[in-house]
Amino acid sequence: MSSVVVVGTQWGDEGKGKIVDYLASQADVVARYQGGSNAGHTVVANGHEFKLHLLPSGILYPGCTCIIGNDVVLDPKELLDELDDMASKNQKVSTLWISNRAHVVMPYHKRFDALEEKFKGNTKVGTTGRGIGPCYADAADRIGIRVVSWMDKEAFATELKAVLEYKNRIMTQVFGEEPFDFQAIYDEYCGYADRLRSYICDTCALMHEILEADKKILFEGAQAAMLDLSHGTYPFVTSSHPTAGAVCVGLGIGPKSIGKIVGVVKAYATRVGEGPFPTEQLNENGVKLREIAHEYGATTGRPRRTGWLDMCVVKYAAQINGLDCIALTRTDILDTFPEIKICTGYKFNGKLLNEFPASLKVLGEVEPVYETLPGWMTSISGIREYDKLPSNCRRYVERIGELAKTRIGIVSVGPDRDQTIVLEPMF
């Protein structure tokens, strides 16, 4: 068995899509284990740009099998839009399977998402508004609609009527909004079901067939460690578990099925939405990082907050994921910085902290301890061998590995697939 988990180590947007796309070319199977259409990355193939939110990255490789697991929340309209976009561009796609245990994102989830954010006012989380949190909440509250019920028109009607009776009471009596129309939702979603029916299966059983066949498997998640529901900067987190441990629950496999765990680290830091961000640069350095790297959300278009690399975050992510190695991305964005800072620790009330703080109050008040390294002041985008990188660039890369106590496995020097320096094989 050969399997690789790719996880984000910061607040998402680390360039994980590029690393997953690169590794997908070597994989037999790409399996998505959590998240929903609030994820997003852009992949270029055959001269066309594709924005993927739900489809696994391996979808662009016809020989690859793609799986959407049981802990992914499925927005059928979004998924069909992605498939239709590929068809309109004559893009060949791989085999796709969707778990019959996955939960379905419904119109009321999106509406509640927006209303709840509005209600929270200054304490809003900054969600994408795509209904992901409310869908996961319904799953935990045991009133969610799973794919297996959605595919059965009679069962779907029964469950939808029951949940709308509850949702409409909240909609009208708490928010003072118009109720949802059962027939409109039922007809719309039955139409989606008819189009997607051939993709549905028991992906847990399928995963075990794949494992027994000793295929190369790439496990793909959405978001990143600092947005994990349990381990991230709660409540400014996503509603699922982007960390490596979620692979087992999200696909119905055991821990022994996980091989190598690769953490994607962006060479600087970004964050979308609300929440503390100790190394944020609200100055010319932050603006320069954003504009050079075009740091705007693939899903929302929102400008990302930018700052220096925070190794307190990366070290914490390495611990909770059990990282085997790091894939360092967007290193080329730092080409024109004469000095580059790395946060190596946090001080709180004048004392150096020994752990990543759970308290947002503490995290919002910490003083980053910086180490300043010299920049390399030259383009590295054309370099394909590690030893040919400028010495200051290698020094920066190696310092990251030292601080994280984790090997560097990949250094990315640009967005294209061939702009990838591999220091150790992933499969």
Q: How deeply is 274 buried, as exposed, middle or buried, from its count of CB atoms within 10 A (0-12, 13-18, 19+)?
A: middle
Among 14-28, 101-115, 123-137, which stretch is predicted with the lowest mean pLDDT? 123-137
Answer whether 253's CB lies under 8 Å from 40's CB: no
pLDDT of residue 57: 84
pLDDT of residue 166: 96
The two structure tokens encoding residue 82: 């992605």
pLDDT at 325 over 90: yes
Strands 41-45 and 73-74: unpaired
pLDDT of residue 406: 97
CA distance 380 to 220: 28
**In what helix (H) or strand (E) does residue 66 lie, and over which residues does it extend?**
strand 65-68
Answer whether 16's CB lies under 8 Å from 263's CB: no
Angle at 293 between CA 292 and CA 296, to 5 degrees: 120
pLDDT of residue 393: 98
Of 21, 41, 241, 332, which one is the catalytic site residue?
A: 41
Q: pTM of the predicted model, to two decimals?
A: 0.93
**Helical residues (DSSP H) of 380-422, grouped into ranges:** 391-404
- Of 2, 5, 4, 10, nearest to 317 (Cα)? 10
**How many CB atoms within 10 Å of residue 137?**
16
- Of 322, 259, 262, nearest to 2 (Cα)? 259
CA distance 412 to 97: 30
CB crowding 161-180: b at 16 or more within 10 Å, else e: eebbeebbeebeeeeeeeeb
pLDDT at 417 over 90: no
Q: 115 vs 260, which has greater pLDDT?
A: 260
pLDDT band at 298; cut points 50, 70, 90: low
One DSSP character per residue, 146-214 reads BHHHHTSHHHHHHHHHHHHHHHHHHHHHTS--PPPPHHHHHHHHHHHHHHHGGGEE-HHHHHHHHHHTT
- Of 335, 123, 343, 339, nearest to 236 (Cα)? 123
pLDDT at 124 over 80: no
SS3 47: coil
SS3 3: strand
pLDDT at 403 over 90: yes
One DSSP character per residue, 109-161 reads HHHHHHHHHHHHGGG-----SSSHHHHHHHHHTT---BHHHHTSHHHHHHHHH
pLDDT of residue 60: 86
13 a catalytic residue: yes
pLDDT of residue 299: 64
Q: 378 vs 61, which has greater pLDDT?
A: 378
Answer whether 425's CB lies under 8 Å from 22's CB: no
pLDDT, one tens digit per residue, over 261-291 is 999 999 999 998 788 999 999 999 999 999 9
pLDDT at 192 over 90: yes
CA distance 3 to 192: 33
pLDDT, one tens digit per residue, over 36-72 is 998 777 776 777 778 889 999 889 888 899 999 999 9
Mean pLDDT of the chain: 94
CA distance 248 to 33: 8
The two structure tokens encoding residue 290: 């954003």
Q: What HEC string does 219-284 produce?
A: EECCCCHHHCCCCCCCCCCCCCCCCCCHHHHHHCCCHHHCCEEEEEEECCEEECCCCCCCCECCCH
Cα-to-chain-centroid distance, residue 427: 21
The two structure tokens encoding residue 181: 């129309």
Angle at 143 between CA 140 and CA 147, to 5 degrees: 95
> With pLDDT > 90 as the criterion, what percentage of the chain qualifies?
83
